[in-house]
A and B are shown apart, each in its own frame.
Chain A
Amino acid sequence: MSFSEKREEGVSEHDSEVPEAPEGLSEPPDRGAAEAHGAHHQEGFLRKYIFSIDHKVIGLQYGLTALLFMLFGFCLMLLMRWQLAFPGQPIPVIGGLLGNANAPGGVMLPEFYNQLGAMHGTIMVFLGVVPLVVGAFGNYFVPLQIGAPDMAFPKLNMMSYWVYFVGGVIMFVSFFLPGGAANSGWTSYPPLSNIATMGQTAWLLGMVFLITSSLLGSINIITTIIQLRAEGLTYMRMPFFIWSQFVTSFLLLLAFPPLEAAGVMQLMDRLAGTSFFMPSGLVVSGQVLEGAGGGSPLLWQHLFWFLAHPEVYVLILPAMGIVAEVIANNTRKPLWGYKAMVYASVWLGFMSFIVWAHHMFLTGMGTVMSAFFQTTTMIISIPSVVILTALLISLWGGSIRFNTPMLFALAFLPMFGIGGLTGLPLGLAPSDIHLHDTYYVIGHFHYVVAPGTIFAIFAGIYFWFPKFTGRRMSESLGKIHFWGSFIFMNGVFGPMFLQGLAGVSRRLYDGGVQYSHAQDVVQFNQFMSYSAFLLLIAQLPFIFNFFWSMRMGEKVGNNPWQATTLDWAATSSPPLGHGNFAEVPVVWRGPYEYSVPGHEEDFLPQNVATPAPQEG
């Protein structure tokens, strides 16, 4: 059966059924109707909300779980920030609840600080941001933006969420094991991690689950994008968000497995007594460790960073995708250099596999390999600059709407810029020798992931909230949230550069009080910690806004932002359950036809059949 025949049949099938509201697709977007629809199909509560195979429900599950984990990871960090600002002083209010093994008398023990640090990193990266940008936004919007009824493999999709969930539970429960959670940093470098407490075993098990979940998810997203694009949606007509998800999924698919292999090997080291990562004659507490030896700690670093470098692009590419959508919509202009952005993102994905050892300049690597990795690192910075520049130029001459999503998207640009540019000295061995493992590094990557990616996530939530719920979030609360976050984020992370340049190490239990040469900058710790606590307070308007708007927000139609992409052609607050579009959409043009000359309205959706007027 040919392509168009198939489509035609699909359309007519739906047409004939529309009056009877097939599958609830054309029902009005209110809760009652959605529930009636559920009852109509006799889908049980479990099938519909818990073990759902509908990508929208799974996307929401991912989103809510990941937001909770992110809040949790943030709270871990707040405990640490207290310790950094007031070393050795009892933690107020909740200090007594942490238990004697962690904080006797409310004073944090160094061992506990290490757990918090390792788990903050792990939770933020693997349980917070990746599941949010790929699991939640990817799941919810990839099918909608390409005009598909669902993901290509709905059951696999459900599995990927539940495997993620189990991984998260393992990570969470590990805090209650004897010796607490993993405490060897999120990088889990052996030999330290090989001889660490039981929490490390739980960490490895959890990671195996999280990796498996990402693999299932990425297979699904790639197949969906390639196979289920609506008719007329050629690759070069895909919204940039779809491209970013596409590249990201390939990174997850091909970079994660070596870490899975490494995880299995470290599990063997810890449980079966092998020595993959154990050098001969390792001395621990004055005693030579038993065991075969002969292994290589550096091997772990290679396998770990083979994943973890592409991982940073997993964190940032979808964020760029979200920002691109928001910017195009709110400048009412096509993205400047869309094609260049697409090629740049593919190039970025490709190169990200061969730069990883820039994290290992200080492992005794010789000049030949070091030169190789410095070169590739400098090359990979180019496509990021291309994308960022294209987004910046896109603003030029636009009649910008400064709504909350746009504010977050705009703030993303300089914040990511700072994060990216401060990365360059880290990619060059001579300067990295000084900066390696200092707070400068912490400052650098947090500018990328916190005011960078997390701002993009906020932009995405404000932007697409009407799609989830049929209601808009409050603008005034949103603006309070934005300005609070913007100021305090910089308050937390800005001074880190100065501390790092002065030589203050990361992963220090006391924040560097013993560095007599760096007292001038160590004193910033209190200011940074106050900023972090205020950052928490700045999130309260958001949390309130989120729940309040679900019930009380301004009701809006399907396309409240006058946007062009296919997701806005679907019903808002789409009834949960399989199927997305009342009528299978057909795509006629590129993704960002805003302010087309000669067209009445200032936007021309991809699926509207009127041919674009000839310019000339």
Chain B
Amino acid sequence: MEIPYNVEERPDTGLYNGKLGIWLFLASEVMLFGGLFSSYILLRTGDPNWFKPELSVPMATLNTMVLISSSVTMVMAWASLRLQDFKKFRLFSAATFLLACAFMVIKGFEYNTEFSHHLYPSSNNFMATYFTMTGLHGLHVLGGMVVIAYLWGPGSRMWKTEPERFTNRVEITGLYWHFVDLVWIFLFPALYLL
């Protein structure tokens, strides 16, 4: 038995199941990070003794660039599949994965510096917000990396048997990945610049 519209689009909605599914998931993610942003705004406006230690803007800027680049390579990987160019897909998704690694490593260095300056989540409410939000974002990056690695490696066997379905999977992963990028685009000014 086959579930209808797993691969092909349903004519009246123009969507395959996975695409609708991922957008619904992203909608819930908007609300998840929305809750955190809302808390951040409230705590910050509500606390007269709000204190924000200096964070490393250059490192964060570098990380922003890294994440943006990984978004481009991700979308290029998908485009390569649509152009039936599997080799290029492998190349671009490997690049995406490596850029994601770079992001995590840089993030790790940042955390390390902060710890060495005795800045912990418990130090003050800014650091608490900072670690919670970037930590949760980092978990999302990790999750994405697992999926990207899978689609690069064992998962890519599907390309031979069901190319369209595989392309869809890459598209969906891309949507998730760009969303993670998008969250960072807001985290960056909110936590580092303001």
Which of A78-86, A259-267, A491-499 contacts its partner? A259-267
- Determine if A127 is an interface residue (Cβ-Cβ < 8 Å): no
- Determine if B28 is an interface residue (Cβ-Cβ < 8 Å): yes
Which of B29-37, B67-75, B146-154 contacts its partner? B29-37
How far is A478 from B1 in the complex, measured between Cα atoms in Å? 38
How far is A3 from B11 in the complex, measured between Cα atoms in Å? 6
Which of A167-175, A198-206, A272-280, A370-378 contacts its partner? A272-280
> With A3-B11, A23-B1, A265-B132 in contact, do A294 and B125 touch (Cβ < 8 Å)?
yes
Identify B122's interface contact among A152, A259, A272, CB under 8 A: A272
Chain A contact residues: helix, strand, loop or mixed = helix
- Determine if A579 is an interface residue (Cβ-Cβ < 8 Å): yes
- Determine if A425 is an interface residue (Cβ-Cβ < 8 Å): no
- A/B pair count, beta carbons within 8 Å: 145
Chain A CB within 10 Å, residue with most, of B1, B17, B124 = B1
How far is A223 from B34 in the complex, measured between Cα atoms in Å? 23
> Are B43 and A296 within 8 A (Cβ)?
yes
- Determine if B49 is an interface residue (Cβ-Cβ < 8 Å): yes
- Expressed in whole angstroms, the minimum distance between the Cβ of B121 and any Cβ of chain A is 4
For B132, what are the chain A residues with a Cβ–Cβ distance below 8 Å?
Answer: 264-265, 268, 274, 276
Chain A CB within 10 Å, residue with most, of B6, B29, B36 = B36
- Determine if B53 is an interface residue (Cβ-Cβ < 8 Å): no
> Are A260 and B122 within 8 A (Cβ)?
no
> Are B25 and A228 within 8 A (Cβ)?
no
Interface mask (B120-134 → A, CB under 8 Å = 1, otherwise 0): 111111001101100
For B11, what are the chain A residues with a Cβ–Cβ distance below 8 Å?
Answer: 2-3
> Are B128 and A153 within 8 A (Cβ)?
no
> Are B28 and A292 within 8 A (Cβ)?
no
For B39, what are the chain A residues with a Cβ–Cβ distance below 8 Å?
Answer: 261-262, 265, 276, 299, 303
> Are A578 and B1 within 8 A (Cβ)?
yes
> Are A227 and B5 within 8 A (Cβ)?
yes
How far is A275 from B50 in the complex, measured between Cα atoms in Å? 12
For A11, what are the chain B residues with a Cβ–Cβ distance below 8 Å?
Answer: none
How far is A222 from B15 in the complex, measured between Cα atoms in Å? 13
> Are A273 and B4 within 8 A (Cβ)?
no
- Determine if B65 is an interface residue (Cβ-Cβ < 8 Å): no
> Are A258 and B128 within 8 A (Cβ)?
no
> Are B28 and A154 within 8 A (Cβ)?
no
> Are A258 and B1 within 8 A (Cβ)?
no
How far is A524 from B93 in the complex, measured between Cα atoms in Å? 69
- Determine if A125 is an interface residue (Cβ-Cβ < 8 Å): no
How far is A274 from B129 in the complex, measured between Cα atoms in Å? 9
- Determine if A40 is an interface residue (Cβ-Cβ < 8 Å): no
> Are B32 and A261 within 8 A (Cβ)?
yes
- Expressed in whole angstroms, the minimum distance between the Cβ of B45 and any Cβ of chain A is 10
- Determine if A215 is an interface residue (Cβ-Cβ < 8 Å): yes
- Determine if B13 is an interface residue (Cβ-Cβ < 8 Å): yes
> Are A258 and B35 within 8 A (Cβ)?
yes
Identify A264's interface contact among B2, B50, B136, CB under 8 A: B136
Q: Which residue of A lies closest to B124 (CB)?
A: A292
Identify B125's interface contact among A150, A228, A276, CB under 8 A: A276
Sorting the interface of chain A by its residue count into under 10, 10 to 19, 20 to 34 or 35 or more gives 35 or more
> Are B24 and A222 within 8 A (Cβ)?
yes
> Are A295 and B21 within 8 A (Cβ)?
no
- Determine if A1 is an interface residue (Cβ-Cβ < 8 Å): yes
- Determine if B54 is an interface residue (Cβ-Cβ < 8 Å): no
> Are B121 and A153 within 8 A (Cβ)?
no
- Expressed in whole angstroms, the minimum distance between the Cβ of B16 and any Cβ of chain A is 8
- Expressed in whole angstroms, the minimum distance between the Cβ of A135 and any Cβ of chain B is 17
> Are A258 and B42 within 8 A (Cβ)?
no
> Are B35 and A303 within 8 A (Cβ)?
yes
> With A215-B28, A219-B21, A228-B5 in contact, do A268 and B35 touch (Cβ < 8 Å)?
no
- Determine if A254 is an interface residue (Cβ-Cβ < 8 Å): yes
Q: Which residue of A lies closest to B125 (CB)?
A: A294
How far is A254 from B35 in the complex, measured between Cα atoms in Å? 11
- Determine if B58 is an interface residue (Cβ-Cβ < 8 Å): no
How far is A264 from B134 in the complex, measured between Cα atoms in Å? 13
- Determine if A97 is an interface residue (Cβ-Cβ < 8 Å): no
- Determine if A121 is an interface residue (Cβ-Cβ < 8 Å): no
> Are A254 and B124 within 8 A (Cβ)?
no
How far is A272 from B123 in the complex, measured between Cα atoms in Å? 10
For B28, what are the chain A residues with a Cβ–Cβ distance below 8 Å?
Answer: 215, 219, 253-254, 256-257
- Determine if B193 is an interface residue (Cβ-Cβ < 8 Å): no
> With A222-B24, A274-B128 in contact, do A150 and B1 touch (Cβ < 8 Å)?
yes
- Determine if B20 is an interface residue (Cβ-Cβ < 8 Å): yes
- Determine if A99 is an interface residue (Cβ-Cβ < 8 Å): no
> With A256-B28, A292-B123 in contact, do A227 and B35 touch (Cβ < 8 Å)?
no
> Are B4 and A6 within 8 A (Cβ)?
yes
For B46, what are the chain A residues with a Cβ–Cβ distance below 8 Å?
Answer: 296
- Expressed in whole angstroms, the minimum distance between the Cβ of B39 and any Cβ of chain A is 6
Identify B1's interface contact among A222, A223, A579, CB under 8 A: A579
> Are A257 and B31 within 8 A (Cβ)?
yes
- Expressed in whole angstroms, the minimum distance between the Cβ of B143 and any Cβ of chain A is 13
- Determine if B162 is an interface residue (Cβ-Cβ < 8 Å): no
For B29, what are the chain A residues with a Cβ–Cβ distance below 8 Å?
Answer: 257
> Are B35 and A260 within 8 A (Cβ)?
yes
Chain B CB within 10 Å, residue with most, of A151, A153, A258, A292 = A292
How far is A275 from B34 in the complex, measured between Cα atoms in Å? 19
- Determine if B38 is an interface residue (Cβ-Cβ < 8 Å): yes
For A256, what are the chain B residues with a Cβ–Cβ distance below 8 Å?
Answer: 28, 31
- Determine if A226 is an interface residue (Cβ-Cβ < 8 Å): yes
> With A227-B15, A261-B39 in contact, do A276 and B128 touch (Cβ < 8 Å)?
yes
- Determine if B157 is an interface residue (Cβ-Cβ < 8 Å): no
- Determine if A414 is an interface residue (Cβ-Cβ < 8 Å): no
- Determine if A105 is an interface residue (Cβ-Cβ < 8 Å): no
- Determine if A149 is an interface residue (Cβ-Cβ < 8 Å): yes
- Determine if A44 is an interface residue (Cβ-Cβ < 8 Å): no
Interface mask (B91-129 → A, CB under 8 Å = 1, otherwise 0): 000000000000000000000000000001111110011
Q: Which residue of B lies closest to A292 (CB)?
A: B124
Known contacts A273-B122, A274-B125; 10 further A-B pairs (Cβ under 8 A) = A3-B10, A150-B3, A153-B21, A227-B17, A253-B28, A254-B28, A257-B29, A258-B34, A268-B121, A579-B1
A-B contact pairs, 15 of them (CB 8 A): A3-B11, A152-B21, A215-B28, A226-B20, A227-B13, A228-B3, A257-B28, A258-B34, A260-B35, A262-B35, A268-B132, A295-B47, A295-B125, A296-B42, A299-B39
A-B pairs, 7 with minimum CB distance: A261-B35, A273-B122, A258-B35, A274-B128, A257-B32, A257-B31, A579-B1
